[in-house]
Amino acid sequence: MPTVRSSASTKRNKRLLEDISNTVEVSKAGSMKKPSLKKNLMLSDDDEFSEPESKRSRTARRSYGSKKKVDIKKEELLDEEPEAKPVRKTKKAAILKMKEEPASDDEDDKEEEEEEEEEEEEEYDYIIKGKKDVKSQASEVKVKQEFEAIEEDESPSVKLSDYELMIQKNIEERQKFLASLKIFEAKGDLEELAPQPVAKKATNRGITRIKEAPQPTERRRSLRQQKMTPDGADLPLPSEKEIAKALAESSEQRNPRPPPGPGPVMDYFNAPGKEEFEEFLKDVHSMKVTGGENSVWSQDGPSVIKTLKKMKITESRVAKVVPSRTFSVQIHPTLDKTLVMIGGKYGELGLWDVHREDSSNGAHFFNPHSRPINCLTVDPWNYQNVYTTSYDGSVRRTDLTSGIVQQVYSYVEEEAYNVYTSWHAHRDENTMLVGGSLGDLVQVDVRDSNSNPVEYKVHNGKTVKLVTVHPTQNHYVATSSRDGCVSLWDLRKVKKNTPINECPHGRNVSGLEFSPVTGNTLISTCSDNYLRFISCDLSNLKVQKKIHHNNQTGRWLTTFKARFLPGREDLVVVGSMLQPRRIEVWSNNGQLAHEFQGEDFASVASINAFHPTQAILAGCNSSGRVHVFM
C-alpha cells in the first residue's frame, strides 16, 4: 500500500511541476529545492521524521487535486492494516539506530520511495509556503502567479514587460561593469584633487594709489540754533545769479581749472613720484614721433582677421594709468615704444609706456584740465602734438617733444556754471571744429589762441555732443546732439539750424565717426541698443545696416563708442557688456568678426583704440585700468 500511495503522489506532483515549469525557468525552480535531511542521514522508513498532523492536512488541501485524484479500491483500504503513527525522533537517536539496525533491501526500496515522495512534497510546500493568504482551493493559474511572485520577490508591484526587464538587466550589468572598473571612485578622487576656481584679482601694476582724506560732514543745526524763526520769514533768499555763482565758486574750489599756459608739464603734475616722472618725460621727449608707413590693417579682410586672432593679453600688459574713470584713449603712432594716452575724469592726461619697467610700470599722469577729458587726438599732421577737449570748457595742446602745455581755445569764462565743451575734430592742419553745450559748432585756429573763432548755429541750441569731419571733403561735417539725430552739414553754406539731411535715432547718440578712407559710411552708437552703418552720399543719410548691441552701460560706466579700424571701411571695434568680458569687432554686413578675450581681461572696456599701423589694441575700463592686446 505505501507503494501505491507513493506512486500516486509522485504522479500528482510531477504534473504540477510540469505546469509550473512552463512559466518559470527550471534552473531557478531547481535552485529553490530544499535538501532532504532524511536522505542525507540515510534514515529508514521506521525512523522517518513525522510532521505534525496540521501540516499534513494543510499539504493535502493544497495539492493539485483532491482525494479523487487517487483511485484506490475500497476493499484494499479495508484489508490494509492501519499504520502506526510515526514517532518523531531526534537526529542523534536516528544515527544511533542506524548503527544498531542496518536497513534491509526491502526497507531500502521502501525508504527510497518514501524519500522521493517526501522530497516532492517538501519541494511543493517550499514553492507555495511564501504566500500565507493563498486559499486552499486556489486554481492552477493562482499557484503559478504566486510562484512567480516568490521568484521575483524584489521586483515592483507592477508587472514589467519582457522589454522592460531586458532594459533593467542591461542597466544592472553596466553598473556592475563600471563598479568593477572603479570609475566612480576615480571620479570622486579627481573632484577632490581639482583646484577650485578662484576669481582673478585686479593687477596692482600702474600708478601709485592716492588715499583721499574723508570729506568732512557738515553738522546740521536747528532753526533755533541758527537764530531763525520757525517760518523762516526773516531769512532773505538769494537770487538765481547768486546761486549759480556760489555753485561755480564751490566747483572751482574743489577742482579749479589749471592755468592756461604755456607752461611745462611739471607745472601740471600733482601726484607722488615727481623725480621718476621727470625721468619718464626725458624718455618721452627723446622718442621719434614719426609713424610707420606699412600698416597691418591695409591687408585683405581674411588676413586682418588672422592678425586679430593672434593678438593676446598678458598680466604685464594691464596697468592702472589714471586714478579714476577713463573717458578717452589713443595710441601714439610712434614705433619707438608702445605709448598709450588716456583722458581721465578729473582732467588727468595719462601716459603709459607699456614696456617700461619702473615702480609704476611706465604709467604716469598729469592734470592739464580740471574736468573729464572727453576727446583726445594726436595731430594727424604733427605727431608731437596731443589735443585734449574737456568739460571744463577749454581745448589744450601738449607738445610731447618740448613738454609744453598750452590752451588753444576757451569756450567759456571760468565763472560760468554748467557750460562746457564736449568734442573736437581736425578739419585741416591749422583749424579744428569744437562742439559745446550752447548748441554751436566753433571753428578754431590752433596757431593763435587769441583769434576770433567762427561759430555755426546747429541743433537749435542743444548740446553738440559729437563732431566728425569727412576725410576727403573737409567742408562736410556730421554732428549728433541730445535730440537723438545725426545731422549732415556743409560749412560753406550753413543755414541756421538747417542741416543738409538728418538720420533720426530716437535716443541719445554716444558715438559717431566717418569711415577713414572714403567717408561713404558713418558708424553710430546709440542708447537704443543698436549700432548703425549709415551710408552718406553727401546729400542724404540712410541706415544701411542695423546691428543689435547692448549699449546700456548705466550710470557708473563710460558709454560705448564704436570706431572704425585704422584705414578700413568694413570693420569696427566696440566694447561689450557680455560675460566673460570681451571687446568685439563687427563687420559692416552685421556679422561678428572677432572677440578679444583673456584670463587677464575681466572688466568692461567702454572705450578702445588701435595703433594706426601696428597690431596693438588698448581697451580702457571705468576705473582707470588699461588692457593691451598685442
The tens digit of pLDDT for each residue in 253-277 reads 567 789 998 999 999 998 888 999 9
**pLDDT exceeds 50 at position 132:** no
Q: In whole angstroms, what is the distance from residue 283 CA to residue 306 CA?
A: 34
Q: In whole angstroms, what is the distance from residue 282 CA to residue 262 CA?
A: 19
Which pLDDT score, from 0 to 100, does residue 521 have? Answer: 96
Sorted by sequence, the CB contacts under 8 Å of residue 405 that are 6+ apart come out as 261, 262, 263, 264, 265, 267, 268, 368, 396, 397, 398, 399
Q: In whole angstroms, what is the distance from residue 318 CA to residue 362 CA?
A: 11
Q: In whole angstroms, what is the distance from residue 525 CA to residue 281 CA?
A: 36
Which pLDDT score, from 0 to 100, does residue 293 have? Answer: 80
Half-sphere exposure of 246 (CA within 13 A, CB side): 6
Q: In whole angstroms, what is the distance from residue 448 CA to residue 440 CA?
A: 20
Residue type, position 423, single letter: W
- Residue 119 phi, psi dihedral angles, 5° rounding: -65, -40
Give the cell for residue 618.
588698448
- Contact between residue 374 and residue 395 where contact means Cβ atoms under 8 Å apart: no
User: What is the 8-class DSSP label of residue 372?
Assistant: -
Mean pLDDT calculated for residue range 155-182: 83
566-598 pLDDT tens trace: 999 999 999 999 999 999 999 999 999 999 999
Sorted by sequence, the CB contacts under 8 Å of residue 71 that are 6+ apart come out as none
341-392 pLDDT tens trace: 999 999 999 999 999 988 889 999 999 999 999 999 999 999 999 999 999 9
Helix (H) or strand (E) holding 351, with range, is strand 349-353
Average pLDDT, the chain: 79
Q: In whole angstroms, what is the distance from residue 89 CA to residue 528 CA?
A: 102
**pLDDT exceeds 60 at position 161:** yes
- Contact between residue 597 and residue 366 where contact means Cβ atoms under 8 Å apart: no
Which pLDDT score, from 0 to 100, does residue 136 have? Answer: 46
Confidence class of residue 494 from pLDDT cuts 50, 70 and 90?
confident
Burial of 331 (0-12, 13-18, 19+ CB in 10 A): buried
Cell 611739471, located at residue: 266
Residue type, position 603, single letter: S
